[in-house]
Amino acid sequence: MRSCKNMHEGLMSDQRRQFIKGSAVAAAGAALPGGAWAAGSDAPEKKEVKIGFIPLTDCASVVMASVLKFDEKYGIKIIPTKEASWAGVRDKLVNGELDMAHVLWGLIYGVHQGVGGPKKDMAILMNLNHNGQALTLSKKLADKGAVDVTSLAKVMAAEKRDYTFAQTFPTGTHAMWLYYWLASAGVNPMRDTKVITVPPPQMVANMRVGNMDGFCVGEPWNHRAIIDGIGITAATTQDIWKDHPEKALGTTSDFVKKNPNTCRAVIMAVLEASRWIDAGLQNKNRMAETIAEKAYVNTSVDAINQRILGRYQNGLGKTWDDPNHMKFFNDGLVNYPYLSDGMWFLTQHKRWGLLKSHPDYLAVARQINQTALYKQAAAQLKISVPKSDMRSSKLMDGVVWDGSNPARYADGFKVNALAAS
């Protein structure tokens, strides 16, 4: 039971928010499915929320929600906490040191399944961004003619040796993009390459000293490799899957159960920040300047501010404008936690032998993805949500993923872990 004082403060906070928003919380809540809130009952259970992040461009919506004080509108204080590695994020989420995190979809799904760490029930509150990662090959490899996946496969076939590629976490998004990309050219990552795990901010330094031939990571580290003259961009992840899910706002199932109002408040604050970032050039430039600071990504602004506008170069003289660059909001299309998005990562975990048998794909996604909480938050902000929890996408190899038959999809790839044994 909360003390009378705390209850009074909660109600006063509600009244202030109602005044700021110009509409009664109770009235808005009454329109939600199942009558989500009664007046005064939506006060966040936990006021200070520690959200871990890795120094990457796509941490921006979490950081800006705090910097621009969108969190205060919803009675919370977001404390962005800089972390060194995805393994560290995993451990701190599991043991409760972090309340939430800017995190890889595949990490959350892996931990929930007991893969890539201790098994714990996990939750995804929303998607944070689409697109905006890349595959970098070393300048030395590019000088031998490896500038895309087809030419890479030819170089690897002609010059037999151990080829080392890095991803950021064994079950994470970058591992899955790397494997999918290599496999599209007949390169089996489990048999034909050595794969290592390297934290994102350490990718460029490791390539500089010759520890790897290529890596898949989020920005700004691909562009940083070009600026530093040690790598080239061979592909973007939007080339693999246009508008793919990337980072999520993740937490544990226990935290959601104990703090549903806090979770809803954080979703709303991050949604506002996402909308603010995508609203125009001025906002994106301010975001780049903010997250480039030492406390966040700790790099030069020029490593960030081009690719968030879709201005790409490959490091070999080619430049292009990519309309499918990193998006944080895109009129709300980015943020819905589609069940099919989570299920896709499970299909790839099965494909590459991380899962030994087929899970109940849909049941797992329903356990993890907090679609009801997201819909409540979106309704408050008048952000539209899709009619279906599933979406259909065609990936780089022409194969369509729509979540309708995940086991058949997972088993349908000729290049897989079994083919490597």
pLDDT profile of the chain (421 residues), mean per 10: 40 38 32 38 94 98 98 98 98 98 98 93 98 98 98 98 98 98 98 98 97 98 98 98 98 98 98 98 98 98 97 98 98 98 98 98 98 98 97 97 98 93 66
Could you say which DSSP state residue 329 is in?
-
Residue at 352: amino acid letter: W
Integer distance in angstroms from the first to the last C-alpha of the chain? 57
User: Domains, the chain, ranges and CATH?
Assistant: 4-130+244-296+327-391 (3.40.190.10)
Q: Is-contact 149 380, C-beta < 8 A?
A: no
Residues 6 or more apart in contact with residue 279 via CB below 8 angstroms: none
Amino acid sitting at position 325: H
pLDDT of residue 40: 54
What is the value of pTM for the model shown? 0.91
Pairing of strands 311-313, 133-138: unpaired
Cβ partners under 8 Å of residue 138, min gap 6 = 207, 210, 212, 213, 214, 230, 231
pLDDT in the model for residue 36: 41
Element (H, E) at 180: helix 173-184
Q: Which two tokens stand for residue 362?
A: 């849909």
Task: Tell me what pLDDT residue 419 has.
Answer: 87
The per-residue pLDDT for 116 is 84
